[in-house]
Chain A
């Protein structure tokens, strides 16, 4: 479903951050992209959701050739992706409910569809009772759960998680991983970038090690 082929990227001439990176992710699969800080994990994710463009190489996601799509097609591509960040990126002036609903509104869903889907998602992440709370009224773990609910709103083909536990304590991290695992079991493919060694040990998934701009190891 996700094919990354010969991906290269450099921000400064002569200092490539990614060199000839290739990997694949099957439908329903979960993989962890790991490596030291600055290895290019986030850059790969950004190229998948088309915030960045590679210097060379190709990314294919289902029917989309991500590297070749035109700018007007990007919104449609992103509705097939869910993205979760370390800093949550929730809109502070909107409640948990409104943050999740936003993803459905931009996709043109009806009010009835939005209401039903947001309820379903907030129940899934265990925050239905706190749907009227603003991000500053929620804990870090709860904020990240709202962010996950928002990422899943349009039933994405792939959930991209960029250091999702980076701002969470151990307990919240474990709880969040359980949630991501559950989401994966329900059929959503997941690609998670992390450099958290403790977390890696707890994850029985395929790991892609990124070092010196290349994927050096891939273990099932």
Chain B
């Protein structure tokens, strides 16, 4: 217990002896963490958008007005047997009109005489179908089936968004690595400067019988603090920013508590690693 008090006091001493350097490091870690966390937020929201679009992007198979029951049965069986199709839902002419009324309101459609809408099948696809050319080939094969008048679909939008998602994810990954290295380097340098300035302190401490851990722990704590304070500030700014920006132009899903804690813990660990390496580099312990 008494050692905890001593370590805290020595950490404060180490910080206050070069506090501008400490503040500079915290700010740099804050900016780097903010950059990394922003990328994580973009990746998360792009991924969610892809999933949402996938769920919404069902294929509508419009049936010919004069389709006979035998052809319709054949068509239905063909669609159900297709492994790329997850679900087949029949929308009758009446159901289609009801949906239109719900969407546009009774008044808007009051001029329509009878029911000009075709019956259709609403298809939900397996998620993998959205990748590559397979999607287009599937649409073409459905179009060629007997009794099909037309096929309505979102042409390649999902695939394009998925490509964007992949680019952002890869970019985010490399930026994340760079940020980790940069933070480690900056924290290491700050600790290094502090250690170099306190060479006499280390010498005297070791002369009077201080163990390696006694000398090291305050500096490891300092690195941990730089990492933690920097990332906590970045998380605060990002979450507040995401929550206030969300809904003004597009809805933004902010990072959940597990992701926030992961960032904070990672920041702390990078701080510890940076100071550990600096201690090895600047003093022979």
Contact = CB atoms under 8 A, between A and B. Distances in A.
Contact of B203 (A75, A89, A102, A110): A89
Contacts of B6: 105
Nearest to A82: B208
A103 B209 contact: yes
Contact of B207 (A72, A76, A78, A105): A78
Interface residues of A, number: 25
A150 B206 CA distance: 13
B13 interface: yes
Contact of A93 (B3, B17, B206): B17
Contacts of B4: none
Contacts of B200: 89, 91-92
Contacts of B78: none
A91 B211 contact: no
A143 interface: no
30 contacts: A74-B206, A75-B206, A75-B209, A75-B210, A75-B211, A75-B212, A76-B209, A77-B209, A78-B206, A78-B208, A78-B209, A83-B207, A89-B200, A89-B204, A91-B200, A91-B201, A93-B13, A102-B204, A105-B6, A106-B208, A106-B209, A106-B210, A106-B211, A106-B214, A107-B209, A108-B2, A111-B2, A150-B208, A153-B208, A154-B208
Contacts of B193: none
A162 to B, nearest CB: 11
A105 to B, nearest CB: 5
A106 B13 CA distance: 16
Interface in B34-80: none
Interface residues of B, number: 18
Nearest to B285: A71
Q: By DSSP majority rule, is chain B's interface helix, strand, loop, or mixed?
A: helix
A83 B203 CA distance: 12
Interface in B204-252: 204-212, 214
A208 B51 CA distance: 86
Contacts of B210: 75, 106
Interface string B17-29: 1000000000000
A102 B211 CA distance: 13
A79 interface: yes
Contacts of A154: 208-209
A188 B99 CA distance: 100
